[in-house]
Structure 1
Amino acid sequence: MDSPHGAAVKAEGFGLKGPRGWVFRGVGIDAAPGSLIALEGPSGSGRTCLLLALTGRMKATEGHAEIGRHRLPKKMAAVRRIAALGPVPGVNDLDQALTVAEQLREGAMLQRRYEAPLRTLLRPRGERRATARTRIDEALAAVGLDPAALPKGERTSVRDLERLEAVRLSVAIALLGGPRLLALDDLDLKLSDAERAEAWALLRSVADRGTTVLAVCSEAPEGVTVVRTGAEPGTGAAAPAKPVPAAPAAEGPKITWGLPPGKDTDPDAPATARPGPEEPPAPAAGAAEPATDHDEATEDTKGADDALAETGRA
């Protein structure tokens, strides 16, 4: 595949406050294009919300971030155009009823319809199909997924994929649009140690090709830029980050800490309130405002929403 120029990721005092208090706060990042960035923390520490905020899917309430020179929270739509989501439960899950071939074709069709220039849609159908097939083959090669090796080849049902195979498929679909930023949630969920190492090797290879990668995890490996959530500022020790070989030379990452849910809680906020849409008629003071795009859900129902409610995982 073509190697897109990755987006630099910078943040200063970045935070999101919900009705029950701060989901994350005081996050600082300074990562060069082509970096591999781990958002590390325990379940419920705001990891998923931070991921969605940095990709323009949730609106931060404090500080700012820059993704490829697009400043958040003002330029959320611009960030969404250059950032693709890999697996994020509750936001862009694979369709379990489809086969691998059908899922890939659907991804290519949506990418062509919503992201490709209008002139692309005017090309002959045979040419469009050939172009889509080429992009699919290149994406599969980039993630190391060989459909022929699956039990029923491309006709294998998505529901029958192993967890790591599903991750590879999701990443392949995300890469079809040539994003500058790739984001994944719960990378190490239900993976053995060996599979976890394979998953990180996959993301390193994507970063080496020029795409900046954000990945939520419980424990990051050595050699990546680490941003930790759920810790008091100034406590603990950040794992030293090593530069990604293909990334341009840059200063070492600036790592700060995000507050866990419940810190600095607003006592006057209603106990059961939820963040409303991005532009509600009468927004509540301090409420987090997620984006409203169809496939870019307001909150991860298994992560972001529960994190704000302080009863689940993020």
Structure 2
Amino acid sequence: MLKVVDLNVAYGSIAAVRGVSFDIAQGEIVAVIGPNGAGKSSLLLAIAGLIKPRSGAIEFAGKNIASKQAEILVSEGVSLVPEGRHIFGSLTVAENLALGATVRRDWPQIASDTERVLAMFPVLKERYRQRANKLSGGEQQMLAIGRAMLARPRLLLLDEPSLGLAPLVVNQVYQAILDLRQSGVTVLVVEQNVSRALAAADRTHVLSFGAIAMSGKSTELAGTAAFDAAYFGVSREAGRA
């Protein structure tokens, strides 16, 4: 579904992503974790077409998309839920959701998909006619995911979906992510919440200083000295010394 090869992203002379390569099979959940400043968001922005890579290849469903603009990628099946949600607070929940479907023309199916989103997040149905700026942080995150789903993505990119949310709301958000995978959506999630990412993802990549420091099956990474060294930059033995 997605193949990233030797991707490099820079802001002027500052390298944000350095030689990153990985792939995602259809129907997988893959996590990218790492500390602040590791390059996680820059990686997602490049895949979503919001910033242009300095070099490297990004293939989606077998086609090179590294030079395509974001609005084209949305119509082809790539949707991003950015960090900070970026919903339109002055618009209602209904209007925010409708914005997610602007690339579509299959009106009957849009109505059906809207009902599916509201069933997934019942609180959005309760607040359907309310302005989005009246929602809690967790409700806004649900709205941002719902809006992305209205574009009918084949690949959903999630940037820090648990950031700033209460544990109960994080449970709801991650249950929705698992439900999306069951419906055939492929998911790439960027997270600082290590335990959540490892619990949900099939495979995980640890990003450090813009490069992949470690990769593997999520169930095999947690709690190992090599994982601690990759994520924290220190081994358990060194930490005890």
Task: Give the TM-score band, short-chain normalised.
Answer: 0.7 to 0.9
* Residues 112-151 of structure 1: CA deviation (Å, up to 9, x unaligned): 3xxx3xxx6xxxxxxx4x554333112322x333444x4x
Aligned-pair CA distance for 1:183 = 1.4
- Name the aligned partner's letter for residue 90 of structure 2: A
Aligned-pair CA distance for 1:24 = 0.9
> Identity over the aligned pairs, expressed in percent?
26
Aligned-pair CA distance for 1:48 = 1.1
Three-state SS of the structure 1 residue aligned to 2:198 is coil
Give the whole-Å Cα distance in 2 for the aligned partners of 1:168 and 1:185: 13
The one of 190, 201, 206 equivalent to 1:228 is 206
Match of 1:285 in 2: none
**TM-score, normalising length: structure 1:** 0.60
1:28-43 to 2 correspondences below 5 Å: 28-43=21-36
Give the whole-Å Cα distance in 2 for the aligned partners of 1:84 and 1:196: 20
Three-state SS of the structure 2 residue aligned to 1:97 is coil
Aligned-pair CA distance for 1:76 = 5.1
Q: Quick check: 1:20 aligned with 2:23?
A: no
Q: CA RMSD in A?
A: 2.8
Give the whole-Å Cα distance in 2 for the aligned partners of 1:98 and 1:233: 39
Give the whole-Å Cα distance in 1 for the aligned partners of 2:78 and 2:110: 20
**TM-score, normalising length: structure 2:** 0.76
Q: What is the count of residue pairs matched by the alignment?
A: 215
Give the whole-Å Cα distance in 2 for the aligned partners of 1:64 and 1:176: 27
The one of 53, 56, 59 equivalent to 1:63 is 56
**Structure possessing the higher relative contact order (Cα contacts under 8 Å, 6 or more residues apart):** 1
CA contact (8 A) 1:67 1:79 kept: no
- Look at both structures and tell me which one has the larger radius of gyration over its CA atoms: 1
CA contact (8 A) 1:222 1:239 kept: no
Stretches (4+) displaced over 6 A: none
Match of 1:140 in 2: 118
Give the whole-Å Cα distance in 1 for the aligned partners of 2:14 and 2:82: 27
CA contact (8 A) 2:33 2:206 kept: yes
Match of 1:278 in 2: none
Aligned-pair CA distance for 1:33 = 0.7
Deviates more, 1:98-107 or 1:154-163: 98-107
Give the whole-Å Cα distance in 2 for the aligned partners of 1:233 and 1:83: 23
CA contact (8 A) 1:24 1:50 kept: yes
Match of 1:156 in 2: 130
Match of 1:9 in 2: 2
* Structure 1 stretches lacking a partner, 5+ long: 1-7, 121-127, 243-256, 258-314
CA contact (8 A) 2:18 2:210 kept: no
Three-state SS of the structure 2 residue aligned to 1:25 is strand
> Which has a greater percent of strand?
2
Cα distance change, pair 44–233 in 1 and its aligned pair in 2 (3 A)? closer
Aligned-pair CA distance for 1:195 = 2.5
Give the whole-Å Cα distance in 2 for the aligned partners of 1:50 and 1:188: 18
Aligned-pair CA distance for 1:158 = 0.9
- Name the aligned partner's letter for residue 44 of structure 1: G
Give the whole-Å Cα distance in 1 for the aligned partners of 2:180 and 2:208: 28
Match of 1:267 in 2: none
Q: Quick check: 1:204 aligned with 2:197?
A: no
The one of 210, 218, 221 equivalent to 1:241 is 218
1:67-216 to 2 correspondences below 5 Å: 67-75=60-68, 79-80=73-74, 81-89=76-84, 93-108=86-101, 110-112=102-104, 116=105, 128=107, 132-141=110-119, 143-148=120-125, 150=126, 153-216=127-190
Cα distance change, pair 233–146 in 1 and its aligned pair in 2 (3 A)? closer
Three-state SS of the structure 2 residue aligned to 1:154 is coil
CA contact (8 A) 2:49 2:67 kept: no
